[in-house]
Chain A
C-alpha cells in the first residue's frame, strides 16, 4: 500500500542504473503473428520517451507486457537496473509502473476519490482511506495542474478530466514510470495541450513518461527521445531534438515492397456521389466526423488516407447506412436519407452502393455462418436467391457462391465451410466477391487488405481497379499509405474528423501525406 510520500521526490535511495526501464530481447507471438520481435530499448529516468509507429506495429503489445497483461515469450525486463518479472498488474504496480489505457478503466458511477483508491485502500474501512486520498489528491492537483473535483462522478466528467483521474490513480500508487497509450486520441487540442503540460511537470519532478502515439506533432513537441516501431520490431531510437517529422514519418512507414499495380489513366465521367457537410456523432454525442465535403466521379478511385480513428470509419458507416448522419449526400442525382428508417444498409444497397466494411469479422461477415450464407448477407432479399414468395433458394445461393469462389479465387472453394474457418485473406475475398460482383455504382471499401496475405492483396487491388475501369466510382479508405498511393486517382487526407487536404498521388509523396495524417499539413 502506498505511503503518503509524494510529489516526485525520489522515494528510495538513488538506483544504480540511469535507466528507468530496459527491455532486452523481448519477443511475443500470438499464434502465427509475431507481434514483437527482439525488442531492445532503454528509457532514461526523468525523460519523456515517445514510442511511435503505425497501427499494428506492436506498440500496445509491448506496453501490455510491461503492465503484466501478457507475458513475453522471451526477453528480459529491468526496472531501475534490476531484473523483474511482471506476471500480473499487481506486480507492475509494485514495480512502480502506472498505465493510462486508451480505454479508461474507471467505474462510471463512482466518484473520483473512490476510483483513485480502488485497489489501493489503506485498510478495510473506507473513511480513513478516503480522507487520506483527499489530502494527497489535493497535493497532487496543485503540484501538477491535475485539478479534478474529488467528489465528482466519473460519468459527469469530460474525457479529458477522466484521463486526469487515470493519471492520478497511477500517481496515487506512487508510480515512477507512467505509460500512456494513445492518450490524445479522445482529447480536444486544448485538452491535449494541457495533458502535455502535466506530463512535462511530471518529468521535471523526476518521473519517467512513456508516450505511445502515432501523432508526429505530439512526439516532436513533447518527447526527449523517440523510438520507432514497425511491424513488430524497434527500428530506431533517436533524440527528438536531432530528428525531424519527415525522417520519423519515413522510419514509421518504412519502404515496403511496393506491389506493382498496373492501371491505366482514369477515364473520369459524371459525378456519382456528392457529399456536403457530412457529420456524424457517436453514441456519447461526440462529433466524430466534422462536416466533410467531396465528390466522386464515375471511373475514379478516391482514396482516404489517415491514421485510424480520425473519422474514416464514421464516413463509411454514414454512407453505408449504418450510422445516422447530418449533411447532404446525393447519389446519381438523388438525395439519400441520412436518418430515420430509410437510412439503412439495405436501402443503400438498393440505391447502388456496395460496402466492404473495415472490420470484416464484426460487420462484414457472420463468422458462424457458412460461406454461402455470408454471400447472401445483406442480399438475402435479392430475387435471385428466392424460390418463390415464401422460400429462399439456398441452392441458387450455393451455386452462386461456388461461382463467386471460382471467380474470386477463394480457397478452399467449399461453400458449406463456416466463415471462421477461412484465412483472413479468403474471408476478405468472400466479402469482396459479394459486394463487387453486383456491379455497384459506388463501392465503399475500408481497409481492403488488412490482415490479408500478399497474393490476395494483389488480387483484391486488381478487382478494385477493374471496377473503376468499368466506369464505377470507388471510395477507398486505408491506413496503408502505399495502398492509397498506388490505387487512388485522388487522395484526401483525414485528421480529427476533417479533411486536411487533397493531393494527386503523382504530385505528392508518402512523407507529405504522413505529415498531413499527423495533423501537420496545411489545409
Chain B
C-alpha cells in the first residue's frame, strides 16, 4: 500500500470510526452505571432518521441534530423506565427497542416523504459541512505528518471532532468528577452508593440519558455527516460493533477510541479488497474483514487476550437488601 492509499483509507477509517466511537461512549456511560445497553443500534437508527427528516424539512442540520438527540432520548427513556423503574430485563428491553426502531423509522420516513422509507437527499445547510483545519494547506508540505494532517485529520465534519473531543472529556468526567466516581460505583456495587445516601435510580437514569444524547450524535452523524440522508437500516449493525468495541476496550474511554479506530479501519479496508490483497499476497475475503470485529470480540470475551470484566453490577436491577 502506498502512502497516498494509506492516507485515503485512514481518512475513511476516521469517518467510519466516528459513529462507532460515539455509540461506544454511549454504551460506556450506560454500562459503567450497571445498565447493559444492547439498544445502541436502535437509538442510533432513531436518531439518524430524526436528523435526516428534520434536516430535510427545515433545511437546518442543527435542528436535525436536536431532533436526533430528542429521538434517541425518547428510546433511552423507555429503556430506563423498563430496566430501572420496573426492574425489567435490560437485555430484552434493548432487543425490543432495536426492533421498534428498525420498523418505526421506516414508517415515519415513509409517511413523511413517501420515498420508500428514505429521507430526501440532503444538501447545503441540511448537512454538516467538512471543516478544513487551520494550516492544513501550509502544513501539507511537511513530509509524512503534513499530508496526514491535511488529508486524514483535517476536512471532516464538526461531529468527528466532537467525537474525538468526547474521549478525553469522558475520561475526565468518569475519573475526575464526583459524578463519574458515583457513576462507576453504581455499576460496580450499587449498595455502596445507596448506603452512602446517594440515589441509585437517579444516577442510573443520568447514565441512560447521557447514552441517549451520545447515540443521538452518532445517529445524526450517520444521516447528515457520513451520508446525505436517512435510509432504512442505515446503521447496519454499527450499534453492535460499538458494543463489541466497548468490550474490546474493557469499558475505558481511551481504549474505546483505539478499538473503534481499529474497527473503523477494518470497515474501510473491507471497501478496498484490492489493497488488502496486494498487501497480504493472498485473497482475504471481504466478509472475513467484515466479521473480524466480531471474531476479535469473541476472542476477547473468551478471555484469551486479557480478561474483559464487565462492571460487576451490570445487568442486575438494584433491589435494596432486605
Residues of A whose CB lies within 8 Å of any CB of B are 67, 69, 88-93, 99, 101, 105-110, 114-115, 117-121, 123-127, 129, 169
Q: Name, among A92, A107, A108, A114, the residue most crowded by chain B CB atoms within 10 Å (CB to CB).
A: A107
CA distance A108 to B191 in the complex (A): 12
Q: Name, among A91, A99, A108, the residue most crowded by chain B CB atoms within 10 Å (CB to CB).
A: A108
4 A-B pairs with the lowest CB-CB distances in the bound complex, closest first: A119-B196, A90-B197, A121-B178, A105-B192
Closest to A125 in B: B177
A to B CB contacts below 8 Å, 10 in the list: A88-B197, A89-B197, A108-B188, A108-B189, A110-B181, A110-B184, A110-B185, A114-B181, A124-B179, A126-B178
B198 at the interface (CB under 8 A from A): yes
CA distance A67 to B320 in the complex (A): 13
Contacts of A69 in B (CB 8 A): 320-321
Given A106-B189, A118-B193, A127-B176, output 18 extra A-B contacts at Cβ < 8 Å. A69-B321, A93-B197, A101-B195, A105-B191, A105-B192, A107-B184, A107-B185, A107-B189, A108-B312, A110-B181, A110-B184, A110-B188, A119-B197, A120-B196, A123-B178, A124-B177, A125-B176, A125-B177
A121 contacts B181, CB within 8 Å? yes
| Closest beta carbon of chain A to B310's beta carbon, Å | 12
B188 contacts A109, CB within 8 Å? yes
CA distance A89 to B192 in the complex (A): 11
A118 contacts B181, CB within 8 Å? yes
A89 contacts B178, CB within 8 Å? no
Q: Do A118 and B185 contact each other (CB < 8 Å), given the known contacts A89-B194, A89-B195?
A: yes
B127 at the interface (CB under 8 A from A): no
Over the window 311-322 of chain B, the binary record of Cβ atoms lying under 8 Å from chain A Cβ atoms (1 yes, 0 no) is 010000000110
B197 contacts A107, CB within 8 Å? no
A126 contacts B181, CB within 8 Å? yes
B184 contacts A105, CB within 8 Å? no
B189 contacts A126, CB within 8 Å? no
CA distance A114 to B176 in the complex (A): 11
CA distance A115 to B194 in the complex (A): 13
CA distance A126 to B176 in the complex (A): 5
Closest to B186 in A: A107
A119 contacts B182, CB within 8 Å? yes
CA distance A110 to B182 in the complex (A): 11
B178 contacts A124, CB within 8 Å? yes
CA distance A319 to B192 in the complex (A): 36
Contacts of B176 in A (CB 8 A): 125-127
CA distance A125 to B192 in the complex (A): 20
Q: How many residues of chain B have a CB within 8 Å of chain A? A: 23
Selected from B178, B184, B188, B193, the residue in CB contact (under 8 A) with A125 is B178
Q: Name the interface residues of B146-189: CB closer than 8 Å to any CB of A.
A: 175-182, 184-185, 188-189
| Closest beta carbon of chain B to A60's beta carbon, Å | 10
| Closest beta carbon of chain B to A152's beta carbon, Å | 16
CA distance A477 to B175 in the complex (A): 49
A118 contacts B182, CB within 8 Å? yes
Closest to B311 in A: A109
Q: Do A126 and B177 contact each other (CB < 8 Å), given the known contacts A90-B197, A110-B185?
A: yes
CA distance A91 to B181 in the complex (A): 22
Q: Name, among A105, A106, A117, A169, the residue most crowded by chain B CB atoms within 10 Å (CB to CB).
A: A105
Contacts of A90 in B (CB 8 A): 197
CA distance A129 to B176 in the complex (A): 10
A107 contacts B178, CB within 8 Å? no
A89 contacts B184, CB within 8 Å? no
Contacts of A123 in B (CB 8 A): 178
| Closest beta carbon of chain B to A134's beta carbon, Å | 15
| Closest beta carbon of chain A to B319's beta carbon, Å | 12
| Closest beta carbon of chain B to A362's beta carbon, Å | 14
Closest to A121 in B: B178
Q: Do A107 and B179 contact each other (CB < 8 Å), given the known contacts A89-B197, A118-B185, A119-B197?
A: no
Closest to B195 in A: A105
CA distance A89 to B194 in the complex (A): 8
Selected from A101, A118, A124, the residue in CB contact (under 8 A) with B196 is A118
| Closest beta carbon of chain A to B8's beta carbon, Å | 42
Q: Do A119 and B193 contact each other (CB < 8 Å), given the known contacts A109-B188, A125-B177, A125-B178?
A: yes
A119 contacts B189, CB within 8 Å? no
Contacts of B180 in A (CB 8 A): 126
Contacts of B198 in A (CB 8 A): 118-119
Over the window 186-219 of chain B, the binary record of Cβ atoms lying under 8 Å from chain A Cβ atoms (1 yes, 0 no) is 0011011111111000000000000000000000
Contacts of B312 in A (CB 8 A): 108
CA distance A218 to B124 in the complex (A): 79
| Closest beta carbon of chain A to B148's beta carbon, Å | 35
Contacts of B178 in A (CB 8 A): 121, 123-126, 129
CA distance A90 to B188 in the complex (A): 20
Closest to A94 in B: B197
CA distance A438 to B180 in the complex (A): 58
CA distance A69 to B322 in the complex (A): 8
CA distance A117 to B198 in the complex (A): 12
| Closest beta carbon of chain A to B206's beta carbon, Å | 13
Contacts of A125 in B (CB 8 A): 176-178
Contacts of A88 in B (CB 8 A): 197
Q: Name the interface residues of B269-322: CB closer than 8 Å to any CB of A.
A: 312, 320-321
CA distance A93 to B194 in the complex (A): 12
CA distance A67 to B321 in the complex (A): 13
| Closest beta carbon of chain A to B207's beta carbon, Å | 16
Selected from B179, B182, B189, the residue in CB contact (under 8 A) with A105 is B189
| Closest beta carbon of chain A to B199's beta carbon, Å | 9
Q: Name, among B176, B177, B195, the residue most crowded by chain A CB atoms within 10 Å (CB to CB).
A: B195
Selected from A99, A110, A126, the residue in CB contact (under 8 A) with B195 is A99
CA distance A356 to B198 in the complex (A): 42
Contacts of A119 in B (CB 8 A): 182, 193, 196-198
